[in-house]
């Protein structure tokens, strides 16, 4: 620090000398030859040039004042790269007095920038059903008091007949407008900051219809100051039936934020395996970045795990996983290729179980990808399910204050 101050003092002295010896007019030169060529006509002498070069050299060496690709300068103290990443947390209440998401939010207001409350469902007739839960107004008041943005998460109703409700809505222009009317009313009612569209298992035939819906939604909400975001399934090609409806490039034109749901690599539909194998995550991320600008892309982060046995597959929160480990005295193993924790145990009923999950250690490798590809941020599913150690890792890896 003392050496730095001494150098700055010399720079100031040289700057003063240069100011007294040169005219006020700024001169831009692309080469030393040009600079000397200008000196005879402008009154700048060789001494001025040497002082200017020396001062510039010192500034460049000790203050890193070198021009970047845009032609501007990275000033001392200006953070680049991972600084300012947006940490978003999905907020869900599974029963009337479920306060796990709320508790996580108020404990981590210094890190969370955005919450995404899962409060609404679009039905086949274009109406928007409130999913219930705790006092919406109180949750949003707390968020606002802590400068936390709130985006309404809305999903699609599940199939009850031969036609998917989401197909009925998306394929009918009049129903799309009715849906947008109802969503706008919901945002106004609770004074939310924007919306998060979480339409899943959309038929491939509705690819263009989904894009049209997002365009119409954006045209309606953005002029009113609302944020428009969408969650998309990960993919590495356009042949996957469950993900083909997400036209990444077109959706990026209308969404401010796009969350790639890079979790459930294995789940209730598969055999045991990592929830978010880091190799699988990166593969899907690289594909998404071919179509979606990095400043709009958010990496989906899991806070949970799965327990596979002959009885089926059960989703477990981190706290439940730790209870299992402590109850059965389990030795947790680290799977190096996937960068994931895993263990097996024999239940009290004699049934063998295999568990894969995410913790603060596996999170580090996901955040390394966020920094490597300079993404806009992360989106955690869901607040309250995660390893409490996540929050310190978020701060350290994303350089959050």
Same domain, yes or no: 44 and 96? no
Q: How many whole angstroms separate alpha carbon 292 and alpha carbon 258?
A: 8
Same domain, yes or no: 21 and 125? no
Say if 244 falls within a structural domain. yes
Say if 121 falls within a structural domain. yes
Same domain, yes or no: 54 and 178? no
Beta strands 312-317; 304-309: pairing state = antiparallel
Please indicate, yes or no, whether the overall pTM of this predicted structure exceeds 0.85: no
Q: How many whole angstroms separate alpha carbon 192 and alpha carbon 338?
A: 38
Say if 241 falls within a structural domain. yes
Same domain, yes or no: 240 and 204? yes
Number of domains, the chain: 2
DSSP 230-299: EEE---SSS--TTTTT--HHHHHHH-SEEEE----SS-TTS-S--SS-HHHHHHHHHHHTTTS-GGGEEE
Q: Give the CA angle between residues 363, 366, 372 to the nearest 5°.
A: 140
Say if 76 falls within a structural domain. no
Q: Which residues of 211-226 are buried (b: 16+ CB within 10 A; e: fewer)?
A: bbbbbbbbebbeeeeb
Same domain, yes or no: 142 and 27? no
pLDDT at 401: 65
Q: How many whole angstroms separate alpha carbon 200 and alpha carbon 212?
A: 16
pLDDT at 83: 55
Say if 54 falls within a structural domain. yes
Same domain, yes or no: 212 and 167? yes
Say if 223 falls within a structural domain. yes
Mean pLDDT in consecutive groups of 10 residues from the start of the chain, 401 residues: 38 38 32 32 36 36 35 33 80 92 98 98 98 93 98 96 95 98 98 98 97 98 98 95 96 98 97 98 98 98 98 98 97 98 96 98 98 98 98 95 65
Say if 327 falls within a structural domain. no
Range of the domain at 45: 2-63
Question: Which CATH number characterizes residue 93's domain?
Answer: 3.20.20.80
Residue that is last in its domain, among 47, 63, 79:
63
Say if 316 falls within a structural domain. no
Same domain, yes or no: 186 and 250? yes
Same domain, yes or no: 96 and 57? no
Tens of pLDDT, residue by residue over 55-79, are 333 333 333 333 333 333 333 333 3
8 A C-beta contact, residue 300 and residue 381: yes
């Amino acid at each position: 620090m003392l050496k730095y101050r001494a150098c700055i003092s010399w720079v100031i002295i040289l700057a003063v000398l240069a100011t007294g010896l040169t005219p006020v007019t700024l001169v831009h030169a692309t080469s030393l030859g040009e600079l000397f060529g200008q000196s005879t006509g402008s009154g700048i002498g060789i001494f001025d040039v040497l002082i200017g070069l020396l001062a510039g050299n010192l500034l460049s060496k000790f203050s890193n004042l070198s021009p970047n690709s845009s032609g501007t300068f990275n000033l001392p103290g200006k953070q680049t790269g991972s600084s300012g990443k947006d940490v978003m947390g999905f907020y869900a209440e599974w029963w009337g007095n479920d306060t796990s998401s709320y508790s996580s939010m108020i404990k981590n207001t210094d890190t969370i920038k955005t919450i995404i409350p899962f409060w609404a469902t679009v039905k086949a007739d274009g109406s928007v059903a409130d999913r219930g839960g705790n006092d919406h107004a109180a949750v949003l008041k707390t968020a606002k008091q802590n400068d936390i943005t709130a985006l309404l998460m809305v999903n699609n109703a599940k199939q009850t007949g031969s036609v998917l409700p989401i197909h009925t809505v998306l394929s009918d222009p009049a129903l799309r407008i009715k849906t947008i009317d109802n969503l706008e009313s919901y945002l106004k009612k609770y004074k939310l900051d924007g919306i998060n569209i979480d339409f899943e298992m959309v038929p491939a035939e509705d690819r263009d219809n989904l894009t049209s819906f997002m365009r119409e939604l954006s045209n309606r909400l953005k002029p009113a100051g609302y944020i428009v975001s969408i969650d998309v399934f990960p993919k590495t090609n356009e042949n996957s039936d469950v993900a083909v409806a997400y036209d990444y490039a077109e959706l990026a034109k209308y969404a401010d934020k796009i969350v790639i749901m890079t979790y459930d690599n294995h789940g209730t539909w598969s055999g045991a395996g990592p929830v978010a194998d880091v190799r699988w995550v990166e593969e899907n991320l690289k594909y998404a970045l071919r179509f979606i600008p990095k400043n709009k892309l958010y990496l989906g982060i899991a806070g949970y795990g799965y327990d596979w046995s002959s009885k089926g597959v059960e989703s477990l929160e981190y706290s439940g996983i730790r209870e299992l480990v402590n109850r059965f005295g389990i030795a947790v193993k680290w799977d190096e290729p996937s960068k994931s924790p895993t263990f097996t145990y024999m239940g009290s009923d004699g049934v063998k179980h295999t568990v894969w999950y995410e913790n603060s250690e596996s999170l580090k490798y996901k955040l390394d990808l966020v920094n490597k590809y300079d993404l806009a941020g992360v989106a955690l599913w869901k607040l309250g399910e995660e390893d409490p150690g996540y929050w310190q890792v978020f701060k350290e890896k994303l350089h959050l204050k």
